[in-house]
Structure 1
């Protein structure tokens, strides 16, 4: 088997020069690089990356775990890959489809030194099963979790959601429906508290019929539109926990003969591409910077570095789906 020493002898350079050419780290003159590449081709030499990774203890690769595709994934993944590239890291995407075993298999890649760290966008297993894997490498997540072993890039969904409800109120809306995610998630619990506090502050009664739970994100916007259509007492505004479900809701209502925002106002959450395309008023909570901070944590842990995290802010983006109500205009 051809070795790095054979390549060095063939190119008439040192072993360290060959190593720098292969790794891409360190200075090598153009002349020496050319000699090494020609020697590698002549000897049909292929670097043993697995052996090199085991020797160095790193793969320069981060695992990115998600159950499947949903609208914010594109923004998050693009930002994560972009900053990883800046620091010379690769990103391997694992779609688990909600399969708990597949998720554990992906986490085990740290144990087997196939990846250096893991980011979890959407999880399948409980945190008490995931946390022990942090002994093999750093783990970060988009989920809201209070853990000493897993970094969370979450923002305060309470303040963001309360702000969206108050915006609807200031625009003249009083009967507001709420479309929330899984009630077990901490972000959903924060939104439920925001709903309760908002209604108490404005002295508006809460109608349980106007609170919807969306567990899957798949076609549920259309289902909620059908339920809204059948209501005897319809809301005049709907607040969604994510833009993609809000977009489905709007699309289905149009098929049913309604018009948004004339028949019902809509506000989303994410400021994703679909909200821009459909002109949906939404809340931007710095998905790109959450992605960057998630990677920065992993990088700092792996390299004993102190790169500062990006500041995260919440901003309401006004578009066309929450107009000022006519009765408010008359005052």
Structure 2
């Protein structure tokens, strides 16, 4: 078994220097710190291989990683902190601003036992970069991923999005625009499949001009509103992958002189606070329970327990932005 002495020999520094690097207490030069970290990496040394079984080896703290503020963050974080508190855990929030190095720095807190586990709301690095850190503690996410090493609390976005499209169809809407997230995201791929299946079932042609990609969430609702405004063949409904972008779309169209939902119906996704404030019809996919199940997984892994996860379901929340529309008779 690799020991702290082995690391010190490999790095050609004293045992106390290695201890200071691991604990984060005391001065260590940048050169010595780099040597120690490289030695630990080369030797696959975990500073808590022994101490993790002792009470003193636990921080009772979970890291919560996000690139920055997104609409579901408040609900998710509040729910995660609430259940963590119930089980006597603290939660430390890390905003990475999409910086890959900042994200790795946060994950290294797990590696060097300054965190017991990590939850990832939004990531900067690829999963293959993040996955190895699961050797040092449990990692969970709400992203839809296929991994044996990272827990995913995702809920099926295919069924939720298909339900929203069916709902629009039943309310009389036939030209439907789609605002989606990153096309590499598995949830986005699930929504794209729902779009294909929906159009095939209804024998409707897909207009590629009616599919929009939102890459940043920032001001994209407003940008999409202008794109919709400039379209010659406007849609009579718009389906959004998140409420915040739908809200920006509505707000900007109103600035341009349109009336919602008279000029275009809008359906969101999240059932967030902004959807309630703006009376947006939306899809609720159990964000609170996704947060709770993520913590339960981390807790169970750390404590060798089997607290059951809660069953999640998708619900359509009817509000004011999708009124019943009289369908014109086909010629």
* TM-score, with structure 2 as normaliser: 0.83
User: Is contact 1:53-1:59 (8 Å) kept?
Assistant: no
User: Is contact 1:54-1:113 (8 Å) kept?
Assistant: no
Residue-pair matches, total: 331
TM superposition shift of 1:326: 3.1
CA distance in 2, matches of 1:44, 1:196: 47
The residue number in structure 2 matching 1:277 is 277
Cα offsets for 1:223-246 (capped at 9, x unmatched): 000000000000000000000000
Q: Which 4+ stretches in 1 moved above 2 angstroms?
A: 1-56, 326-331
Structure 1 residues 53 and 198 mapped into 2: Cα distance closer, same or farther (>3 Å)? same
TM superposition shift of 1:56: 2.3
Give 3-state SS (helix, strand or coil) of 2:93's partner: strand
CA distance in 1, matches of 2:32, 2:104: 45
TM superposition shift of 1:24: 24
Cα offsets for 1:246-298 (capped at 9, x unmatched): 00000000000000000000000000000000000000000000000000000
TM superposition shift of 1:79: 0.1
User: Is contact 1:171-1:322 (8 Å) kept?
Assistant: yes
TM superposition shift of 1:5: 28
Structure 1 residues 263 and 58 mapped into 2: Cα distance closer, same or farther (>3 Å)? same
Structure 1 residues 264 and 26 mapped into 2: Cα distance closer, same or farther (>3 Å)? same
TM superposition shift of 1:113: 1.1
Cα offsets for 1:190-213 (capped at 9, x unmatched): 000000000000011110000000
Structure 1 residues 12 and 240 mapped into 2: Cα distance closer, same or farther (>3 Å)? closer
User: Is contact 2:48-2:113 (8 Å) kept?
Assistant: no
Cα offsets for 1:39-68 (capped at 9, x unmatched): 999999999999999862210000000000
Structure 1 residues 70 and 3 mapped into 2: Cα distance closer, same or farther (>3 Å)? closer
Q: Which moved more, 1:52-61 or 1:18-27?
A: 18-27
Structure 1 residues 31 and 246 mapped into 2: Cα distance closer, same or farther (>3 Å)? closer
Structure 1 residues 168 and 3 mapped into 2: Cα distance closer, same or farther (>3 Å)? closer
Cα offsets for 1:277-324 (capped at 9, x unmatched): 000000000000000000000000000000000110000000000000
Give 3-state SS (helix, strand or coil) of 2:118's partner: strand
Q: Which moved more, 1:55-64 or 1:254-263?
A: 55-64
The residue number in structure 2 matching 1:225 is 225
The residue number in structure 1 matching 2:75 is 75
CA distance in 2, matches of 1:266, 1:100: 35
Q: Which runs of 5+ in 2 are unaligned?
A: none
CA distance in 1, matches of 2:66, 2:184: 18
User: Is contact 2:22-2:112 (8 Å) kept?
Assistant: no
Structure 1 residues 318 and 27 mapped into 2: Cα distance closer, same or farther (>3 Å)? farther
Structure 1 residues 25 and 238 mapped into 2: Cα distance closer, same or farther (>3 Å)? same
Structure 1 or 2, whichever has the larger Rg, is: 1
User: Is contact 2:46-2:136 (8 Å) kept?
Assistant: no
